[in-house]
Structure 1
C-alpha cells in the first residue's frame, strides 16, 4: 500500500480545517458554513475523494460527536424544558416526515408515500453538531442553546426509527401502524435503558480511575462507542443510548472525576470535536457532485418539485409549529419551580426567540448518513423508488440550511438583539464563586472546632486569609457588575492590572526554569513537572479579562 498519498490527504485535511477555523475566528463567519463550500470545490477537482459510508458515519463519527455534545449539555436545563424539547424532537419530526411524504406521493412522479416519508425522516432532525456550531458562534442566550441541545440530541432516535419503518414499507414488508408505534416506543425506551446502564458502569469505574487521568480519558473515549454498540446489539436506539449516557455522565462528572481528569478530558474532547466536525462538514460538501450525477434519469420539473417540497416543508414547518405552540393555553407554558416554593414559573417563548429558534434548524451529517442507508433494491428486486432523487433532495436541504442559515444566523441574532447578556452571565458566575468561597470558610471553621491536634490554627489561618482576600475580590466585582448598565461586563482597571501582574510573574518563572534546564541544573523531567504547575496556574486566568 502506498501510504504517501494517504498521508498527504490527511495533512491537507487537517490544514484546511485549521485554516478555516482561523478564518472563522477572524471574520466571524461560522466554520460549519464555510467547510461544506470548500468540500464542494474540492470534489470537482481531480484527485481522491471520500465517499460517504453511512455505516462508518453512524458507528464511528456520530457517537463521539453526540457524546461530546451531551457532556456539554445540562440535564437539569433539558428536564426543565422537556415539554418543548419533546414537542420539537418527536412531534415536529413526525409531522415533517409525514408532510414531505404526502407531498412526494401527490406531486412527485415515480415516488411513493413510503419513499417520501423516508426522505422526510432524514431531513427532519436538526443536527446538534451543526446547530450548536452556528448557535454558539452567534452568541445565543443559554436558554435557547439548551433547547437546541436538547432537541438535537433527542430527535435522531425519532427520525431513524421513522426512517426504518418507511424503508420497510417501501421495500415490500408488511406495514402496520400499531407495530410501527410499538417499534418506536421500544427503540426509545431501550435506548434510554442502554444509555443509563453504560453511564452506571462508567460511574462505577470513574472513582477507582480518578487518580489516573490517562485511564479516565480512555474510558471516556470508549464510552460513546460502548453505548452505541449496546444499543445496536440489543436492537434499540444506539443514538439515544449515546446521548443518555453522555447526559448522565456529564451531570455526575463534577462529583466523580478528579480535577486533573476533568482538565485532560475536556482538552481531549475539544480536539476530537475540532477534527471530527471539520471532517464531517468537508464530507458533506464532497457528496454533491456524485449525487448530481445520479439525476440523469429524472426530468428537470420532477427534480424541482421534489426539492421545493423538501426544502419548503423543512424551512416553513418549523417556525409555523413554534408559533402554533406559542398560541397554546397559558397553563401549558408553565412549570413548577423546584425551589420548594410550590409556585409556577412561565416558560413561554417570546416572539424574537421564536424567530431565532425557527431559523436554528441546521441539518448536517446525520441527515446524509440516514438517507445513504436507503437500499439500492427492494425485496422484490426492483430499484428503491426515486432513491437518487431522495439523496439529492437531502443534500440540498443540508447545504441550504448549513450555508444559507449558517451565514445569516449571526446577523439575524444581532438584528433582533437576542445575544446572551454577558453581564448577567458574569454576575451569576461571580455569585457562585463568592458562595463557594464562603462555603470553604465555613468548612475551615468547622475543621478548627473539631480540635484535631494535627491541624492547628497556624495551618488553617493562612488558608483562611487567602480565602477572605479572594472573597473580598469577588464581592468588589459583584458590586461593579450589579451597578453596571452597559451590555457587557464593566472594565475594571485594577482587575486587569492584577491579571497582567500575574501573567508577568508566571512568564518570569517559566523563563527561569528554562534557563535552569538549559544550564544543566534541572532535568527535562523536572522541567515538565514545574511547567505543569505553572500551566495550571495560568489556566485559571481568563482569556478576556473584561468578561469575567
Structure 2
C-alpha cells in the first residue's frame, strides 16, 4: 500500500508538471493515467464511497469555500441557486423519466438515483483551467458557487430516490420536507461551527494551532451535520464561507500564510488522488454489463450522457430568457471592479455550459447504492447505473476538460485584466494613505515616546510606495483592450529587486558554508527574504 501511495504522489507530481507545460487540465490527464493503470496487471484501488464522502469531500469543499467570495456568491445568489438546486433537480428527474420510458425494465426511482449522482458538476477541472486563461470573475463566482452547493442537493435527492427504489414508496410532500430539513439544518450546523471557532481566536494567532483548528473544522462540520441527520456537506460549505469571510478579523498574518500553504498542499494531493481513483474504477463498472443487452446499455448511456450535456445549456438559455426582475442583478460591479449586466451573454452561456464537468462526487454517490434492497432483492440495475455514471464522468471530465481552454480562448471570454489591476492599485493607495494618516496621529499622540527619525524613515518608505502605486495607476488608466500595459521602467525595477534578493541569498549561503552563520540563523534570514520576494508581482 505504501508503494501505491508513493507511486500515486510521483504520478501526480509528474502530471502536474506536464499540465503546467502544455496547459492541459491535470484532472483530465490524471483520469486517463488512472484508466491506463487499471488496464495493466497488478493491484488496483477500489473507490470506497463512504471513505470519499467522509474523509476526502469535506476538506476539498472546505478549502474551496475558504477560497470563494461570500459577498460575490450572495450577489449572484439567484443564479447560483438556479444552477445548484433547480438544475440538479431537473437533471435528476429528466434522466429518471428517460430511464423509465426507454430503458427496458428500469424503474423511475433507479433512474432518478442515477440522475442525482451525475447532476452535480465538479468544478475543479473547469476552475483550474478558467483561472489560467483568465475567465471573468463573475463566471468564476458562478462556477464556484454552483460547485459548493450542488453536492448537498444531489446527495439529498439520491437518498430519497434510493428509499423509493427499495420499495418504500415515493411521497412528494415527504421528499420536499426531507430536503428542506436537510438544507436548513445543514446551514444551521455550518453556522454553529463557524461561530463556534470564534472563542478560539486567541489561539488562532499561533500558526500551528491555527492550522490544527483549520484542518479539523471541515470534519467537525460534516460530522455534526450527519449526527443531527441534516446535510453535512452543506454544513461544511457554510462553515467555510463564513470563516473565510471573517478570517482576516480572527487570524494573524503568519497564521494565514501558513494555513494557505497547508491547504494548497492538501488540495494538490487529494485532488490528484481523487482523479487517479476515477480512472481506476473502469474494471469495476464494466464487470457487470454482461447481463444486459447491448441495445439496453447503449440506450441508457445515450440518455445519461445526452441529458448531462444538453440540459445544462438549455436551462441556462431558458433562465436567461426570464424577465429581468428574476435575475440576480440588473447591473453592478464584480470583485475586480469591472462592470457586468444582469444577463449572461451568449459567449458566457456557452462557457458556463462547457464548465459542467463531472467528477468524483458522481462516482462516490453512485457507488453508495446498496447491492441489495432491504427486502433482500438486488438493487435494480445497479451495474448499469454504475457504468452510465462512469461514462458521464469520463465524457465530461476528459472531453470537456481538454477542450475547455481552447473554447474560452476562441470565444474571447476573458476578464479585463487592467480593470482588476486598477482596482488593486486603488486599494493599495488607500491602504498606504491610511497608514500615513495613522502615522501622523501616532506622532502627535506619542511625540515623546517615538523617535522622530523612526517616524520620518517610515513615512519615507510609505511615500515611496505611494508614488510607485500612483504611477502604476496612471499607466493602468491608459490601458487599452483590457490588457495590463508593460512599463519598461517597472519591469526593470522588478528584475533589479529580484537580482538583489538572489545576491543576498548567495551571500547568506556562503556565510553558512563557511561556518560563520548557523543553519538556524540562515533559515530566519531566508524567511525574511522569502517574504520580501513574495511581495513582488508574479513573472
Q: TM-score range by the shorter chain?
A: over 0.9
Q: In the alignment, which residue of structure 2 is the partner of 1:81?
A: 76
Q: In the alignment, which residue of structure 1 is the partner of 2:256?
A: 262
Conserved 8 A contact 2:79-2:328: no
Counterparts of 1:366-515 in structure 2, within 5 Å, are 366-515=361-510
Give the superposition deviation at 1:453: 2.4
RMSD in angstroms over aligned alpha carbons? 1.6
Conserved 8 A contact 1:203-1:249: no
Q: In the alignment, which residue of structure 2 is the partner of 1:158?
A: 153
Deviates more, 1:192-201 or 1:95-104: 192-201
Deviates more, 1:504-513 or 1:352-361: 504-513
Q: In the alignment, which residue of structure 1 is the partner of 2:96?
A: 101
Deviation string for 1:147-179 (max 9, x for gaps)?
Answer: 000011001111100000000000122322111
Q: In the alignment, which residue of structure 2 is the partner of 1:293?
A: 287
CA distance 1:365–1:179, shift in 2 (3 Å): same
1:304 matches 2:298: yes
Q: In the alignment, which residue of structure 1 is the partner of 2:58?
A: 63
SS at match of 2:375: coil
What is the distance in 2 between the residues matched to 1:337 and 1:28?
A: 33
Give the superposition deviation at 1:135: 2.7
Deviates more, 1:494-503 or 1:276-285: 494-503
What is the distance in 2 between the residues matched to 1:358 and 1:268?
A: 32
Give the superposition deviation at 1:385: 0.5
Conserved 8 A contact 1:64-1:225: yes
Conserved 8 A contact 2:122-2:359: yes
Give the superposition deviation at 1:223: 0.9
1:135 matches 2:130: yes
Conserved 8 A contact 1:66-1:129: no
Counterparts of 1:238-277 in structure 2, within 5 Å, are 238-277=232-271
CA distance 1:436–1:335, shift in 2 (3 Å): same
Deviation string for 1:304-358 (max 9, x for gaps)?
Answer: 000111111111011001000111112223548899xxxx984211111111111
SS at match of 2:167: coil
| Structure 1: gaps of 5 or more residues | 1-5
1:523 matches 2:534: no
The counterpart of 2:3, out of the listed 5, 8, 15, is 8
Q: In the alignment, which residue of structure 1 is the partner of 2:336?
A: none
How many residue pairs align between the two structures? 534
Q: In the alignment, which residue of structure 2 is the partner of 1:532?
A: 527
What is the distance in 2 between the residues matched to 1:194 and 1:100?
A: 32
| Structure 2: gaps of 5 or more residues | 334-338
The counterpart of 1:228, out of the listed 222, 225, 236, is 222
Give the superposition deviation at 1:41: 0.5
Counterparts of 1:193-208 in structure 2, within 5 Å, are 193-208=188-203
The counterpart of 1:351, out of the listed 346, 352, 359, is 346
1:328 matches 2:319: no
What is the distance in 2 between the residues matched to 1:96 and 1:31?
A: 27
Conserved 8 A contact 1:368-1:395: yes
Deviates more, 1:518-527 or 1:66-75: 518-527
CA distance 1:498–1:137, shift in 2 (3 Å): closer
Conserved 8 A contact 1:334-1:345: no
Q: In the alignment, which residue of structure 2 is the partner of 1:315?
A: 309
Give the superposition deviation at 1:288: 1.4
Conserved 8 A contact 2:16-2:26: yes
Give the superposition deviation at 1:495: 1.1
Q: In the alignment, which residue of structure 2 is the partner of 1:3?
A: none
Conserved 8 A contact 2:25-2:125: no
What is the distance in 2 between the residues matched to 1:149 and 1:335?
A: 18
SS at match of 1:133: helix
Conserved 8 A contact 1:310-1:393: yes
Give the superposition deviation at 1:289: 2.1
Deviation string for 1:422-467 (max 9, x for gaps)?
Answer: 2222222111111111111121122223244212433322111111
Deviation string for 1:387-437 (max 9, x for gaps)?
Answer: 000000000000100001001111110111002222222222111111111
SS at match of 1:29: coil
Conserved 8 A contact 1:69-1:128: no
TM-score, normalised relative to structure 1: 0.95
SS at match of 1:171: helix
What is the distance in 2 between the residues matched to 1:130 and 1:152?
A: 11
Deviation string for 1:167-216 (max 9, x for gaps)?
Answer: 00001223221111111011111111111111112232133331x21111
What is the distance in 2 between the residues matched to 1:276 and 1:174?
A: 38
The counterpart of 2:173, out of the listed 161, 173, 178, is 178
Q: In the alignment, which residue of structure 2 is the partner of 1:542?
A: 537
Conserved 8 A contact 2:324-2:342: no
SS at match of 2:374: coil
Deviates more, 1:457-466 or 1:104-113: 457-466
Deviates more, 1:127-136 or 1:23-32: 127-136
1:121 matches 2:116: yes
What is the distance in 2 between the residues matched to 1:523 and 1:427?
A: 44
Q: In the alignment, which residue of structure 2 is the partner of 1:237?
A: 231
Deviates more, 1:230-239 or 1:451-460: 451-460
Conserved 8 A contact 1:334-1:346: no
Deviation string for 1:255-289 (max 9, x for gaps)?
Answer: 21111111111111111111111111111111112
Conserved 8 A contact 1:192-1:240: yes
Misfit runs of 4+, over 4 Å: 336-339
